[in-house]
Amino acid sequence: MSFSLYHLVREPKVKLDKNPLLLLLHGYGSNEEDLFSFASELPEEYYVISARAPYELMPKAFAWYAINFDADEKKFSDLDQARTSRDLIVTFIDELVAHYPIDAHQVTLIGFSQGCILSYAIALSYPEKVQRMVGMSGYFNEEIAVEHFVANDFGNLKVFASHGTVDQVVPVTWARKAKPVLDELGIENIYLEYPVGHGVAPQNFYDFRNWLEKTK
């Protein structure tokens, strides 16, 4: 089977009839090997799959969409490319469920930076396909979500979001705007901050891994 996105796979060490999925989405200028580096530290019952973004910037550096580093959060992203990647990832989730013995009702997105921004957009646009999301060092841009997303049923969606207080790429003020939106929509969520820049602090990793274990 050919897939919409190139990806790496860590098969579950504990095989079930259908296993849950952790789908990793890297940030701008990175690749599928980045987040996959901590796959061995993630719970053993999951398929851990790390996808490569479709736009090549240079060898081993990919993006989900073009960004303008000099703009505010409204003009930061190429919205057309972002929406195209949003739909590409949704198609990819369907392909993974069709190809691997993955439980379609236990799909979790783990996104960093640009991958976090897309994880928000996908989870809120298609909560029937994504039951949980971990978003690190990103923010929610409702313009990347589908129209009328607020009418969706979010009863099964849970969100863990985190950010560095001295993030020099995505200001923490952008990240803080997501929680009031999630609260308003009745989405179960947790938001934590760490005294770091644009990266994943060790404590951040342990906190979201513990959250994964508690929210099964």
CATH superfamily, domain at 7-214: Alpha/Beta hydrolase fold, catalytic domain (3.40.50.1820)
Residue 73 has pLDDT above 90, yes or no: no
Strand partners, 189: 159
pLDDT band for 77, please (50, 70, 90 cuts): confident
d(CA 213, CA 216): 6
The tens digit of pLDDT for each residue in 114-147 reads: 999 999 999 999 999 999 999 999 999 999 999 9
Q: Specify the pLDDT at position 49.
A: 98
Q: Specify the pLDDT at position 72.
A: 66
Q: Residue 158: which H helix or E strand, with range?
A: strand 158-164
Token reading at 157:
């969606």
Question: In sequence order, which residues have a C-beta less than 8 Å from that of residue 169 and are 6 or more positions away?
Answer: 69, 113, 137, 197, 198
Residue 71 has pLDDT above 90, yes or no: no
CB 79 within 8 A of CB 104: no
What DSSP character marks residue 57?
Answer: E
Proportion of the chain above pLDDT 90, given as a percent: 92
| Largest pairwise CA distance in the chain | 48
Q: In the chain, what are the domain boundaries?
A: 7-214
d(CA 110, CA 116): 7
Question: In sequence order, which residues have a C-beta less than 8 Å from that of residue 48 and are 6 or more positions away?
Answer: 9, 10, 22, 24, 36, 39, 42
pLDDT band for 67, please (50, 70, 90 cuts): confident
Strand partners, 68: none
